[in-house]
Chain A
Amino acid sequence: MVIATELCALSEYRIYPGNGKLMIRRDGKPIWLGTSKAHSLTLQRKKAAKLVWTQAWRRLHKKGITETTAKKRTRRTNKVQRAVVGASLDDIKKKAAEKSGFRSQQREAALKEVKARKTTAKKGGKVQAPKGSTFQKVPKHMGGKGKRGGTQR
Protein backbone atom coordinates (compact mmCIF):
# COMPACT_ATOMS: atom_id res chain seq x y z
CA MET A 1 0.00 0.00 0.00
CA VAL A 2 1.30 3.36 -0.90
CA ILE A 3 1.14 5.90 1.90
CA ALA A 4 1.22 9.56 1.12
CA THR A 5 3.99 11.10 3.16
CA GLU A 6 4.90 14.70 3.61
CA LEU A 7 8.29 16.30 3.89
CA CYS A 8 9.22 18.27 6.94
CA ALA A 9 9.68 21.91 6.11
CA LEU A 10 12.79 22.28 8.21
CA SER A 11 14.65 19.01 8.08
CA GLU A 12 13.15 17.47 4.91
CA TYR A 13 12.62 14.16 6.61
CA ARG A 14 9.57 12.09 5.75
CA ILE A 15 6.47 12.52 7.85
CA TYR A 16 4.29 9.43 8.03
CA PRO A 17 0.58 9.66 8.81
CA GLY A 18 -0.14 10.29 12.44
CA ASN A 19 3.09 12.14 13.08
CA GLY A 20 4.01 15.74 12.95
CA LYS A 21 2.05 18.94 12.94
CA LEU A 22 0.68 21.11 10.20
CA MET A 23 1.24 24.75 10.97
CA ILE A 24 -0.84 27.16 8.96
CA ARG A 25 0.78 30.52 8.84
CA ARG A 26 -0.95 33.84 8.87
CA ASP A 27 -0.73 34.12 5.12
CA GLY A 28 -2.36 30.74 4.68
CA LYS A 29 0.70 28.72 3.81
CA PRO A 30 0.79 25.26 5.37
CA ILE A 31 4.07 24.17 6.86
CA TRP A 32 4.60 20.57 7.81
CA LEU A 33 6.80 19.99 10.81
CA GLY A 34 7.96 16.50 11.59
CA THR A 35 9.08 16.71 15.16
CA SER A 36 8.80 18.97 18.15
CA LYS A 37 12.45 19.82 17.50
CA ALA A 38 11.52 21.19 14.11
CA HIS A 39 8.53 22.97 15.60
CA SER A 40 10.58 24.64 18.28
CA LEU A 41 13.22 25.75 15.82
CA THR A 42 10.74 27.25 13.40
CA LEU A 43 9.18 29.21 16.23
CA GLN A 44 12.63 30.57 16.97
CA ARG A 45 12.82 31.39 13.27
CA LYS A 46 16.00 29.47 12.63
CA LYS A 47 17.08 28.95 9.08
CA ALA A 48 17.33 25.39 7.85
CA ALA A 49 20.48 26.16 5.90
CA LYS A 50 22.32 26.99 9.10
CA LEU A 51 21.47 23.82 11.01
CA VAL A 52 24.03 21.14 10.35
CA TRP A 53 21.73 18.17 10.68
CA THR A 54 19.26 19.24 7.98
CA GLN A 55 19.21 18.25 4.32
CA ALA A 56 19.28 21.91 3.30
CA TRP A 57 22.66 22.38 4.99
CA ARG A 58 23.99 19.21 3.38
CA ARG A 59 23.00 20.40 -0.02
CA LEU A 60 24.68 23.75 0.51
CA HIS A 61 27.90 22.14 1.66
CA LYS A 62 27.66 19.39 -0.97
CA LYS A 63 27.77 16.43 1.34
CA GLY A 64 27.00 12.96 0.06
CA ILE A 65 26.34 13.91 -3.56
CA THR A 66 29.69 12.92 -5.14
CA GLU A 67 29.04 9.19 -4.73
CA THR A 68 25.91 9.15 -6.82
CA THR A 69 27.43 11.19 -9.67
CA ALA A 70 30.55 8.99 -9.92
CA LYS A 71 28.56 5.78 -10.28
CA LYS A 72 26.63 6.94 -13.29
CA ARG A 73 29.65 7.10 -15.61
CA THR A 74 30.62 3.41 -15.55
CA ARG A 75 27.49 2.08 -17.20
CA ARG A 76 27.77 0.82 -20.75
CA THR A 77 25.80 -1.93 -22.44
CA ASN A 78 27.71 -4.24 -24.74
CA LYS A 79 26.10 -5.25 -27.97
CA VAL A 80 25.80 -9.00 -28.14
CA GLN A 81 25.60 -10.77 -31.47
CA ARG A 82 23.09 -13.51 -31.32
CA ALA A 83 22.36 -16.39 -33.68
CA VAL A 84 19.13 -16.27 -35.62
CA VAL A 85 17.09 -19.31 -36.66
CA GLY A 86 18.17 -19.10 -40.27
CA ALA A 87 21.86 -18.54 -39.72
CA SER A 88 24.23 -19.50 -36.97
CA LEU A 89 26.62 -17.10 -35.30
CA ASP A 90 29.49 -18.11 -37.54
CA ASP A 91 27.50 -17.44 -40.67
CA ILE A 92 26.51 -14.03 -39.41
CA LYS A 93 30.10 -13.22 -38.53
CA LYS A 94 31.32 -14.36 -41.94
CA LYS A 95 28.80 -12.27 -43.72
CA ALA A 96 29.57 -9.28 -41.57
CA ALA A 97 33.29 -9.74 -42.22
CA GLU A 98 32.90 -9.77 -46.01
CA LYS A 99 34.34 -6.77 -47.73
CA SER A 100 31.94 -4.28 -49.15
CA GLY A 101 32.40 -5.15 -52.77
CA PHE A 102 32.55 -8.88 -52.28
CA ARG A 103 28.92 -9.74 -52.71
CA SER A 104 28.35 -7.40 -55.62
CA GLN A 105 31.38 -8.94 -57.31
CA GLN A 106 29.97 -12.36 -56.75
CA ARG A 107 26.70 -11.30 -58.25
CA GLU A 108 28.36 -9.84 -61.32
CA ALA A 109 30.41 -12.96 -61.82
CA ALA A 110 27.31 -15.09 -61.58
CA LEU A 111 25.51 -12.88 -64.07
CA LYS A 112 28.43 -13.11 -66.49
CA GLU A 113 28.37 -16.86 -66.20
CA VAL A 114 24.72 -16.98 -66.98
CA LYS A 115 25.20 -14.72 -70.00
CA ALA A 116 28.10 -16.79 -71.22
CA ARG A 117 26.02 -19.89 -70.93
CA LYS A 118 23.20 -18.31 -72.86
CA THR A 119 25.46 -17.20 -75.69
CA THR A 120 27.06 -20.63 -75.91
CA ALA A 121 23.60 -22.17 -75.92
CA LYS A 122 22.63 -19.92 -78.81
CA LYS A 123 25.82 -20.83 -80.67
CA GLY A 124 26.55 -24.37 -79.75
CA GLY A 125 23.25 -25.58 -78.43
CA LYS A 126 25.06 -27.19 -75.58
CA VAL A 127 24.85 -25.91 -72.15
CA GLN A 128 28.19 -26.23 -70.53
CA ALA A 129 28.09 -26.84 -66.87
CA PRO A 130 30.33 -24.51 -65.04
CA LYS A 131 33.61 -26.16 -64.21
CA GLY A 132 34.26 -26.64 -60.60
CA SER A 133 33.13 -23.28 -59.42
CA THR A 134 35.63 -21.85 -57.07
CA PHE A 135 33.14 -19.63 -55.43
CA GLN A 136 29.77 -20.31 -53.99
CA LYS A 137 27.05 -19.40 -56.40
CA VAL A 138 24.92 -16.84 -54.71
CA PRO A 139 21.45 -16.81 -56.24
CA LYS A 140 20.31 -13.38 -57.21
CA HIS A 141 17.23 -13.10 -55.19
CA MET A 142 18.70 -14.39 -51.99
CA GLY A 143 21.36 -12.84 -49.87
CA GLY A 144 22.04 -9.18 -49.61
CA LYS A 145 21.12 -9.36 -46.03
CA GLY A 146 21.77 -5.81 -45.36
CA LYS A 147 20.35 -4.34 -48.52
CA ARG A 148 17.33 -6.31 -49.61
CA GLY A 149 16.29 -8.24 -46.61
CA GLY A 150 14.77 -11.64 -46.87
CA THR A 151 12.47 -11.75 -49.84
CA GLN A 152 12.78 -15.45 -50.45
CA ARG A 153 10.54 -17.56 -48.36
Chain B
Amino acid sequence: MIQQQTILKVADNSGAKTVKCIKVLGGFKKRYAKLGDIVVVSVQQLRNKSKKTSKVSKGEVFRALVVRTKKKYRKKDGSSFFLQENAVALINKQGNPIGTRILGPIPKILKKQNL
Protein backbone atom coordinates (compact mmCIF):
# COMPACT_ATOMS: atom_id res chain seq x y z
CA MET B 1 0.00 0.00 0.00
CA ILE B 2 2.35 2.61 -1.23
CA GLN B 3 1.01 6.04 -1.89
CA GLN B 4 2.26 9.56 -2.40
CA GLN B 5 4.89 10.72 0.04
CA THR B 6 5.80 7.16 0.96
CA ILE B 7 9.50 6.77 1.46
CA LEU B 8 10.79 3.59 -0.03
CA LYS B 9 14.04 1.74 0.00
CA VAL B 10 15.83 0.97 -3.18
CA ALA B 11 16.55 -2.66 -3.93
CA ASP B 12 19.07 -2.30 -6.73
CA ASN B 13 22.54 -0.93 -7.18
CA SER B 14 21.60 2.19 -9.08
CA GLY B 15 23.10 4.31 -6.32
CA ALA B 16 19.99 5.57 -4.64
CA LYS B 17 19.26 4.60 -1.08
CA THR B 18 15.80 5.95 -0.48
CA VAL B 19 13.22 7.43 -2.77
CA LYS B 20 9.92 9.13 -2.21
CA CYS B 21 6.86 8.13 -4.13
CA ILE B 22 5.37 10.99 -6.06
CA LYS B 23 2.68 9.34 -8.07
CA VAL B 24 1.04 5.98 -8.38
CA LEU B 25 0.67 5.04 -12.01
CA GLY B 26 -2.06 2.90 -13.46
CA GLY B 27 -5.36 4.66 -13.26
CA PHE B 28 -7.38 7.67 -12.46
CA LYS B 29 -7.26 8.43 -8.76
CA LYS B 30 -5.44 5.22 -8.05
CA ARG B 31 -4.40 5.62 -4.47
CA TYR B 32 -2.29 2.67 -3.54
CA ALA B 33 0.41 0.75 -5.25
CA LYS B 34 1.01 -2.87 -4.38
CA LEU B 35 3.50 -5.50 -5.43
CA GLY B 36 4.28 -5.22 -9.10
CA ASP B 37 2.90 -1.75 -9.65
CA ILE B 38 4.85 1.11 -11.11
CA VAL B 39 5.27 4.39 -9.30
CA VAL B 40 7.02 7.64 -10.02
CA VAL B 41 9.67 8.41 -7.46
CA SER B 42 12.09 11.13 -6.61
CA VAL B 43 15.48 10.28 -5.25
CA GLN B 44 15.98 11.33 -1.64
CA GLN B 45 19.19 9.77 -0.47
CA LEU B 46 22.15 8.22 -2.11
CA ARG B 47 24.29 5.41 -0.84
CA ASN B 48 27.31 7.10 0.62
CA LYS B 49 30.06 5.18 -1.05
CA SER B 50 28.71 5.50 -4.52
CA LYS B 51 28.52 9.27 -4.78
CA LYS B 52 30.70 9.24 -7.81
CA THR B 53 29.70 5.92 -9.28
CA SER B 54 25.96 6.16 -8.88
CA LYS B 55 23.79 6.46 -11.90
CA VAL B 56 21.31 8.75 -10.26
CA SER B 57 21.55 11.99 -8.39
CA LYS B 58 19.50 13.48 -5.65
CA GLY B 59 16.24 14.97 -6.74
CA GLU B 60 16.03 13.09 -10.00
CA VAL B 61 12.69 11.69 -10.95
CA PHE B 62 12.38 8.12 -12.08
CA ARG B 63 9.90 5.39 -12.44
CA ALA B 64 10.13 2.43 -10.15
CA LEU B 65 8.71 -1.03 -9.75
CA VAL B 66 7.50 -2.06 -6.33
CA VAL B 67 9.29 -5.23 -5.31
CA ARG B 68 8.66 -5.56 -1.62
CA THR B 69 5.74 -4.51 0.52
CA LYS B 70 4.90 -4.86 4.14
CA LYS B 71 1.28 -5.28 3.20
CA LYS B 72 0.16 -8.87 2.79
CA TYR B 73 -0.12 -10.07 -0.75
CA ARG B 74 -2.88 -12.63 -1.17
CA LYS B 75 -2.54 -15.55 -3.52
CA LYS B 76 -5.50 -17.32 -5.06
CA ASP B 77 -5.29 -20.30 -2.71
CA GLY B 78 -5.79 -18.04 0.28
CA SER B 79 -2.24 -17.96 1.49
CA SER B 80 -0.55 -14.65 1.86
CA PHE B 81 2.89 -13.35 2.51
CA PHE B 82 4.54 -10.11 3.36
CA LEU B 83 8.03 -8.76 3.53
CA GLN B 84 9.66 -6.64 6.09
CA GLU B 85 10.09 -3.44 4.20
CA ASN B 86 8.79 -1.45 1.26
CA ALA B 87 11.24 -1.41 -1.57
CA VAL B 88 11.42 -0.53 -5.23
CA ALA B 89 13.73 -1.03 -8.16
CA LEU B 90 14.31 1.93 -10.40
CA ILE B 91 13.30 1.75 -14.05
CA ASN B 92 13.44 4.09 -16.96
CA LYS B 93 10.46 5.00 -19.09
CA GLN B 94 10.88 2.04 -21.41
CA GLY B 95 10.71 -0.36 -18.49
CA ASN B 96 14.35 -1.33 -18.37
CA PRO B 97 16.09 -1.33 -15.02
CA ILE B 98 18.65 1.31 -14.20
CA GLY B 99 20.65 -0.77 -11.79
CA THR B 100 22.38 -4.00 -12.75
CA ARG B 101 21.76 -6.05 -9.62
CA ILE B 102 18.82 -6.46 -7.33
CA LEU B 103 19.41 -6.90 -3.65
CA GLY B 104 17.36 -8.82 -1.17
CA PRO B 105 14.48 -11.25 -1.54
CA ILE B 106 11.91 -10.75 -4.25
CA PRO B 107 8.69 -12.69 -4.63
CA LYS B 108 8.11 -15.01 -7.59
CA ILE B 109 4.97 -13.21 -8.63
CA LEU B 110 7.03 -10.54 -10.32
CA LYS B 111 8.23 -13.13 -12.80
CA LYS B 112 4.95 -12.94 -14.67
CA GLN B 113 5.66 -9.33 -15.48
CA ASN B 114 8.95 -8.12 -16.84
CA LEU B 115 12.36 -7.87 -15.15
| Chain A interface residues (CB < 8 Å from chain B) | 17-18, 20-28, 30
Contacts and interface: CB of A to CB of B under 8 A. Distances in A.
23 contacts: A17-B77, A17-B79, A18-B78, A18-B79, A20-B79, A21-B72, A21-B80, A22-B79, A22-B80, A23-B82, A23-B83, A23-B84, A24-B81, A24-B82, A24-B83, A24-B84, A25-B84, A25-B105, A26-B84, A26-B85, A26-B105, A28-B104, A30-B81
Give the secondary structure class of B's interface: loop
Instruction: Categorize the interface residue count of chain B.
Output: 10 to 19
B84 A21 contact: no
B78 A24 contact: no
B42 to A, nearest CB: 25
B90 to A, nearest CB: 20
Interface of B: 72, 77-85, 104-105, 107
A44 B79 CA distance: 23
Nearest to B106: A28
B1 to A, nearest CB: 16
A30 B85 CA distance: 14
B105 to A, nearest CB: 4
* Closest 4 pairs between A and B when the two form their complex, measured CB to CB: A18-B78, A22-B81, A28-B105, A24-B83
